Amino acid sequence: MANISLGAEVVMPVEQRRGYWSSVVRRFLRNPVAVGCAVVLLALILAAIFAPYLDLADPYKGSMIKRLRPLGTDGFPLGTDEQGRDMLARLIYGGRLTLYIGLVPVVLAFFIGTALGVTAGYAGGFVNTLIMRVVDIFFAFPSVLLAIAISGALGAGIINSLVSLTIVFIPPITRVAESVTSSVRALDYVDAARASGAGAFTIVRVHVLGNVLGPVFVYATSLTSVCMILAAGLSFLGIGVKPPEPEWGLMLNTLRTAIYINPMIAALPGIMIFITSLCLNLLSDGLRSAMNVKD
């Protein structure tokens, strides 16, 4: 996860037209890989949301005598962890927290970054300079470094992780939103709307946002896998989620030494991170081509 580029990509505004969304859905459904990934992710998310109703073992309660049982043990289909807790339950509840701190910062950053970017791009001039130069400063930090610096200073904890990761993802989203907004603003029909006396708010709402949200959304989805791996990394280091919460990165950490006894169990959280982030990446690629956003 160490070095995923957050470089703002050059995103072209999408021409808005009738039937656009239905054609997006059609194109998306024609891509079996992306649909497959969407199904897997949906399953993971549903499992995470409805975990309490799934009749799982208590993810916090273990028994030392039953620790590190292998896969397929009676009553523990995915074995047990170093505290003798049911791995299946830990992984599903772990997905809950992992997806939460993997997705929430991107969602928050999506709103904040879009707002900043659209403001900067539409207002131009001094406001633009002010916002974009501050963004540049945050851009001067490699994302991992910034996340670790802020989390390291604030200390471990879910809220602190959310804060630091949100800060990490606001600048790239702002940049993309700003660049799309600037190019939309220069389009003829926006000029026309302005000339006809429409207020700034209306123009932004009607003409700008419609064009900006798509590409920014696609870009944001491409950040989710980065964010999730980064969040798991923070927990792995001990500055993310605190024990005993089940979280995949933290589980990788606490199961590290068990790799000599039961490597499969120790590998499971890593595999979950891998599958989820793979699906997020492929889904994002699928969305990108379905929405005709060029990179």
What is the nearest approach in angstroms of other proteins to the Cβ of residue 11?
Answer: 13
Under rule CB under 8 A, residue 61 binds other proteins: yes
Number of residues that bind other proteins (CB under 8 A): 67
Tally the residues of the chain.
295
CB closer to other proteins out of 17 and 133: 133
What is the nearest approach in angstroms of other proteins to the Cβ of residue 25?
Answer: 23
What is the nearest approach in angstroms of other proteins to the Cβ of residue 124?
Answer: 18
Under rule CB under 8 A, residue 239 binds other proteins: yes
Binding other proteins (rule: CB under 8 A), the pick from 97, 252, 287, 293 is 252
Is the CB of residue 265 less than 8 Å from the CB of residue 255? yes
| Sequence-distant (≥ 6) Cβ neighbours of residue 64 within 8 angstroms | 83, 84
Under rule CB under 8 A, residue 5 binds other proteins: yes
- In angstroms, the CA 260 to CA 88 distance is 20
- Rounded (10°) angle between helices 125-139 and 87-123: 150
Under rule CB under 8 A, residue 36 binds other proteins: no
Touching other proteins, residues 101-130 (CB under 8 A): none
- In angstroms, the CA 40 to CA 47 distance is 10
Binding other proteins (rule: CB under 8 A), the pick from 134, 193, 209, 213 is 134
- In angstroms, the CA 122 to CA 185 distance is 6
Binding other proteins (rule: CB under 8 A), the pick from 62, 172, 240, 246 is 62
- Segment interacting with other proteins, rule: CB under 8 A, options 3-11, 88-96, 183-191, 198-206: 3-11
- Phi then psi for 104, rounded to 5 degrees? -55, -45
Contact residues for other proteins, defined by CB under 8 A: 1-5, 7, 60-65, 67-68, 82-83, 133-134, 136-138, 140-145, 148-150, 152-156, 225, 229, 232-233, 236-239, 242-244, 249, 252, 254, 256-261, 263, 267, 270, 273-274, 277-278, 280-282, 285, 295
